[in-house]
A = this chain, B = another copy of it.
Amino acid sequence: MVTSEQDFLASYDPSGYPPVGLTVDVCVFTIRAGMLSVLLVQRADHPHRGAWALPGGFVRPDETAETAAARELAEETGLEHLPAEVHLEQLGTYTAPDRDPRLRVVSVAHLAFAPGLPAPEAGSDAAAARWWPVADLAGDDAPELAFDHAEILTDALERARAKLEYTTLAAAFCDDTFTLADLQRVYEAVWGTQVSRTPFRRKVLASPGFVVEAGELTATGGRPAKLYRRGPARFLPTPIVRHDR
C-alpha cells in the first residue's frame, strides 16, 4: 500500500511524480444592458486557438490562488487595482488529468461579481476580450469554449444564482448607490426570472444591514427613488427564494 508519507518522500524526487501546473481561472460576472454577462478572452495560441476561454493564468510561487485570481482579474479588466466592491471567491478546483493536453494543469476556478466595468482590452495572450451575455453562450451560435471552461461556467452560474438567495452579494453588481428597483433587476438578470415587487422590497428592507439609505433621490422620468448603498451584512436572515417562472 502506498501511504501518503511515502508519497511525500517521493515528491522530493522530481522524478517521483510528473510536474503539475497550478493555474487560476476567473469567471467574472457583471450586468450590462440588463443582461448577466461574463468576461471571456479569445485564445491566440494552441491549444484551443480561436476558442473563448475564462481569463486566467499561472499561480506564482509567492501567491495564493486568490491573490493570483485578483491579479489576473485586474490585468484582464485593465484596472490598476481591483475595486473594493468587487467580490471574489473560490469556486472549485478542476483536476481531470487530461484537461490540458500539454501537461497536468490543475485550475483553481474563482467566481467574481463586479458592477459595470470598462470594456476590456486584449492582452498579449488573447486575440480579443469581451463581455458575453450568458444567454448567448447556450444557443446554437454560441462560441466554443476552451478546455473545461463550459463546465466551470455552468458551475459558476449555479453558484451565483444560489448565492443571491441567502447572501447580500446582489449589491456587488450595483454601483456605489442604487435604487431598490436596480437591485431587483440584478436578481431578475441573474436568475432569469421575474421577481414580484412587494415581497422583494419588504424582504430587502427587513434584512438589517443589506442596504442603507444614501439620503439622495434619483432624478428620472417618474417619481424619484431613494438611493441606497451596500450595508455591512453579508448574509440574509431569511432567504429571498427564487421561483421557476
When C-beta atoms are compared, the residue in chain B nearest to A98 turns out to be B62
Q: How far does the alpha carbon of A2 sit from the alpha carbon of B61 in the complex, in Å?
A: 14
A11 & B6 in contact (Cβ 8 Å cutoff): no
- The yes or no answer to A136 lying at the interface (CB within 8 A) is no
Name A5's closest neighbour in chain B (CB-CB): B125
Contact with B along A108-130 (1 / 0, CB 8 A): 10000000000000011100000
Question: In the complex, are the beta carbons of B241 and A57 less than 8 A apart?
Answer: no
Bound: A104/B8 CA distance, A: 11
Give min CB distance, A148 to chain B, whole Å. Answer: 11
CA distance A153 to B180 in the complex (A): 38
For the side of the interface on A, what is the size category?
35 or more
Q: Which residues of B contact A14 (CB under 8 A)?
A: 14, 19
Residues of B within 8 A of A123 (CB): 1, 3
Q: How far is the CA of A6 from the CA of B36 in the complex (A)?
A: 31
Nearest B residue to A45 via CB reads: B5
Instruction: Report the bound CA distance from A125 to B96 in whole Å.
Output: 27
Of the candidates B20, B95, B102, B108, which one forms a contact with A64 in the assembled complex, judged by CB atoms under 8 Å apart?
A: B95
CB distance from A49 to the nearest CB of B (A): 11
A174 smallest CB distance to B (angstroms): 25
The minimal Cβ–Cβ distance linking A240 to chain B, given in whole angstroms, is: 12
The distance in angstroms between the C-alpha atoms of A19 and B16, with both chains bound, is 11
Return the CB mask of A8-24 against B: 1 if under 8 Å, else 0. Answer: 10111010011111110
A-B contact pairs, 20 of them (CB 8 A): A1-B75, A3-B57, A3-B123, A3-B124, A3-B125, A5-B44, A5-B125, A6-B125, A7-B57, A7-B58, A8-B58, A12-B103, A14-B19, A18-B61, A20-B22, A22-B95, A90-B93, A92-B92, A92-B93, A106-B108
10 cross-chain pairs, A with B, having the tightest CB-CB distances, nearest first: A4-B57, A5-B125, A7-B58, A3-B125, A65-B95, A93-B93, A64-B95, A11-B21, A20-B22, A3-B124
